[in-house]
Structure 1
Amino acid sequence: MAACVKNTETITPSNSNPDWSTESHSNDADPNYTVVFPQDKVNTLEISMTTADWTALKADMAAKGKGTFGSGGTTQGGGGAVGGGNVGGGAAPSFGEDADYIPVTMKFNGKEWRKVGFRPKGNSTLNATWRAGIYKFPFRLKMDEFEDKYPEINDQRFYGFKELSMGAGVKDNSLIRDKVTADIFRMAGIPAAQTAFYKVYIDFGEGKKYCGVYTMIEIIDDSMIKSQFGSKSGNIYKPESTFQTFNQANFEKKNNEDAADWSDVQASIKALNDPIRTSNPAQWRSNLDAVFNTDHFIKWLAVNSTLVNWDTYGGMAHNHYLYNDPTKKLTWIPWDNNEALTSQARVQLSLAGVANNWPLINYIANDPVYYAKYKAYVKDFNDNVFTTSKMNEIFDKATTLITPYVNGTEKEVAPYSNLTNTANFTAALPILKQHVVSRNQAVSAFLK
């Protein structure tokens, strides 16, 4: 591994990048949320790959069953969920193995990051864009993916961040759902990834192309956990489970990988599905609360059901993380919110009709104590957070920020946009605002 020479301002690996500094590139710097996730402006990111690497990426995607780029299929705008589905659904649809990373050059604020790992990411959103031949597809960045091959980028970071996710606004004509839903969760007291808007330019080997407005999304890792929980020692999981039974393969560890210990998840699933639930519900609740942050999950469920989040637990066994907080037990963290704030709900606000294969919801709905708490959280969220005035302010701010780069001085155009036309973008804001009004009315009817 190449040696690093430190001084008070920079860390410059040998034969490496003159832009490398402690603050911008080094693992010695704390994550800089102000720079990476600004809330009052749209950052600009430029990415360049070689023609050979783009060709290799397309071949890899095809080889892994993800289809040939531009082979057929369309994106679906309007902000609605795709494919419908019912409450009795199961695991997430498989879209095959993740593509391999390719090395790209990344530029931001006059600085350059070299050999950054880049790969397309997602399931239905990626499928829709990739097969349609749309270059604005969701992707993931990993700053040190190629450090073994290129030691000069050892522990490379982007202002303290190791990995970042880039949402392309697929199926969302407003282009703000990923951003504002995470903000709303945090307003309600639910830890969620930080987000920010970016203008993205990508050179696929034949010149730089404007790929429109993306949402940069913080990865749920040690940095996010430390910033919002104050501790990062517990296990972080990305589950693909209905929580009926424990299967180790369905609880991917995102940290502490060398410790073969899933006892926290096992204990929670055991307590949740204990037959004592019907014979001694008070003891069942006590046992579950001792290992699982049930109160927090109920709050998340109330928020999620009120605002309507289509693509998550209750319909699909994915799009959440778990963190075993040392003081708060196993805690739910929402993820991937691009299909939130839509009219198509898989879980009714009343939780009626939830199938037995979603025990975390079904058992809460059927327990009078937990259900009363759920109703109280619905009321609190609806009355104090999800109001028309607060939501209109958030929606207006986000839309105003990105409009110049969607339908203004810079425009999103095919095949570098998921918008059918920019008129759909303009029409999306009133639809979001009306959604809040409709949900407020639904809550009033539910709580009568």
Structure 2
Amino acid sequence: MKYFKYILFSTILTFALFSCSSDEIEDVEDEVEDEVVVVIDDTDFTATDWTSETHSKDADPNFDEVFEDNTVKRLDFVITEARWQTMLDDMTNLYGEFGASSGGPGEPGGGGATVDIDEDPIFVPGEVFYEGMQWYRAGLRFKGNSSLQSSWQAGILKLSFKLDFDEFEDDYPQIKNQRFYGFKKLSLKNNYDDKSMLREKVATDVFRNAGLAASHTAFYTLYVDHGNGPEYFGLYTMVEEVDDTVIETQFSDDNGNLYKPDGYAATFASGSYDEDEYVKKTNEDDADFSDVSNLLAIINDGTRTTDPTTWRTNLDATLDTDVFLKYLAVNTVVQNWDTYGRMTHNYFLYNNPDTEKLTWIPWDNNEALQEGKMGGSHALDFSGLNTSEWPLIGYLYEDEVYKEKYDTYVQEVIDDAFNETTIQSLYTSYASLIEPYATSEVSGYTFLNNSSEFQAAVSQLKSHVTARKLAAEDYLN
């Protein structure tokens, strides 16, 4: 493998230089300059670990291998020192100096304000190692919004990553259509601002157990070698990408429009329409946005009050309202504030070709399972919600037919997907599984001030599920 050949060559060169005078060193450097270029040229390699099952596009996604619930698996990244520095320099250009507003690991961001940056960090090619096998020149980049900025500004290098296994196939023909057990894209979430490191995993489990389309998740430790040997970056949550295998495997047809709205238009408030903010993740070259424009027009149409039956008929033909109301019940029972209703992001809409209806898909749940920030999670009856600002919640809840369905789903959530006994047991099981990896995170790569904070956070989650059962029962009664 070229990476290790480079290390071996560098070692031999170092020993040679120790036995030379300064003039001789210069001569040696001149003599080996061309050879060094040959050795570190990473376009000349053979993908010796490649198999159809593990690397090929022809393999079906292997969920049992990649998203195993009851284990913690390990990933290793190897990124050249020069490319790693390029990634860090790019982050500095985007978000300022690393650690510039550090308030300590217990205070992510250190109070520094985050800013809206309409630009993703850069991809670089890197090697991914798993269970003794190598994936070659995979695209690796940092990912996230406020969580990425806050971690960087706090001087915490445990940053989230996005992986795209054939991002650089044009540069490296050997990796054309490279997959990781059938997956092209994956996210490694750093469990930002979550000292239990369970919120992303458990919240997504609840959505999926409620029968909603949502990502699979699993626990992984990450080690990164960027020139000094493998360094422990901490415990992460692997998350399935919606625009990759979620729509491919959880819908019978993945050719519909997939949107990730972000901005004022994501509220669907009257007058908010903006195609640039209905960000397409599929069919990007197709200029047809009629599905989302129809939804905005119908949800705000005057028939809502003058002819509710007609309004519901039109809305049901455009939005899968049953899915949305079930999602809304789950999201509100578990208290997930960092999404629609408070924030203008963190959800997908998929136009399911089977129904020709927009279907709601939750995303980014590390802030769930708590009252939250920015005004906190909404009450189960949405008291205090500005209905015209968030009409997909406000107008549906005001309609007696939709409210009755929502109430039914609230009862189902506490009986099943967020059942107190089941979730308490799940917290105990997951906490026992990940504790050795969570509490062994090292300074500069953790959001924990000390190991006791982990168990305290788990205890808070257990208290939370009990409180939410009582709140739901009180609401329904």
| TM-score exceeds 0.5 | yes
* Cα 1:247/1:82, change in 2 over 3 Å: farther
Alignment of 1:26-425 (within 5 A): 26-64=56-94, 66-74=95-103, 94-240=116-262, 241-244=266-269, 245-328=272-355, 329-344=357-372, 345-355=376-386, 356-407=388-439, 411-425=440-454
Unaligned segments of structure 2, at least 5 residues = 1-42
| 1:24 and 1:159 in contact (8 A); partners too | yes
User: What is the rounded CA distance, in whole Å, between the counterparts of 2:458 and 2:343 in structure 1?
Assistant: 27
User: What is the rounded CA distance, in whole Å, between the counterparts of 1:342 and 1:371 in structure 2?
Assistant: 24
- Residues 111-154 of structure 1, C-alpha deviations (whole Å, 9 max, x = no match): 11121111111112111211122121111111111111222211
Q: CA deviation at 1:73?
A: 2.8
User: What is the rounded CA distance, in whole Å, between the counterparts of 1:203 and 1:15 in structure 2?
Assistant: 20
- Residues 165-203 of structure 1, C-alpha deviations (whole Å, 9 max, x = no match): 111111101101111111111111111100000011012
User: What is the rounded CA distance, in whole Å, between the counterparts of 2:311 and 2:236 in structure 1?
Assistant: 44
Letter in 2 for 1:242: T
* Cα 1:160/1:55, change in 2 over 3 Å: same
- Residues 314-369 of structure 1, C-alpha deviations (whole Å, 9 max, x = no match): 00011011111123411000000000001233322111121121110110122122
Which structure has the highest helix share of the two?
A: 2
User: What is the rounded CA distance, in whole Å, between the counterparts of 2:391 and 2:410 in structure 1?
Assistant: 20
User: What is the rounded CA distance, in whole Å, between the counterparts of 1:361 and 1:446 in structure 2?
Assistant: 17
Letter in 1 for 2:413: F
User: What is the rounded CA distance, in whole Å, between the counterparts of 2:436 and 2:377 in structure 1?
Assistant: 35
Letter in 1 for 2:184: K
User: What is the rounded CA distance, in whole Å, between the counterparts of 1:360 and 1:108 in structure 2?
Assistant: 43
Letter in 2 for 1:379: Q
- Residues 11-48 of structure 1, C-alpha deviations (whole Å, 9 max, x = no match): xx994210111111111111111111111211110011
Q: 2:52 aligns with which of 22, 41, 53?
A: 22
User: What is the rounded CA distance, in whole Å, between the counterparts of 1:73 and 1:97 in structure 2?
Assistant: 23
User: What is the rounded CA distance, in whole Å, between the counterparts of 2:467 and 2:310 in structure 1?
Assistant: 39
Q: 1:435 aligns with which of 441, 448, 464?
A: 464
| 1:75 and 1:171 in contact (8 A); partners too | no
Alignment correspondent of 1:6: none
Number of aligned residue pairs: give it. Answer: 423
Moved more, 205-214 or 168-177: 205-214
* Partner SS for 1:216: strand
| 1:182 and 1:337 in contact (8 A); partners too | yes
RMSD over aligned Cα, in angstroms?
A: 2.1
| 2:105 and 2:446 in contact (8 A); partners too | no
* Cα 1:74/1:149, change in 2 over 3 Å: farther
- Percent identity of paired positions between Structure 1 and Structure 2: 44
* Cα 1:78/1:436, change in 2 over 3 Å: farther
**TM-score, length-normalised on structure 2?**
0.85
User: What is the rounded CA distance, in whole Å, between the counterparts of 2:87 and 2:225 in structure 1?
Assistant: 14
In our comparison, the structure showing a higher alpha carbon Rg is: 2
| 1:75 and 1:170 in contact (8 A); partners too | no
- Residues 229-271 of structure 1, C-alpha deviations (whole Å, 9 max, x = no match): 2321211111111112321111111112232222221221211
Ranked by relative contact order (alpha carbons within 8 Å, sequence separation 6 or more), the top structure is 1
**TM-score, length-normalised on structure 1?**
0.90
User: What is the rounded CA distance, in whole Å, between the counterparts of 2:104 and 2:149 in structure 1?
Assistant: 9
* Partner SS for 1:331: strand
| 1:129 and 1:137 in contact (8 A); partners too | yes
- Residues 46-75 of structure 1, C-alpha deviations (whole Å, 9 max, x = no match): 0111221121111112223x2222222347
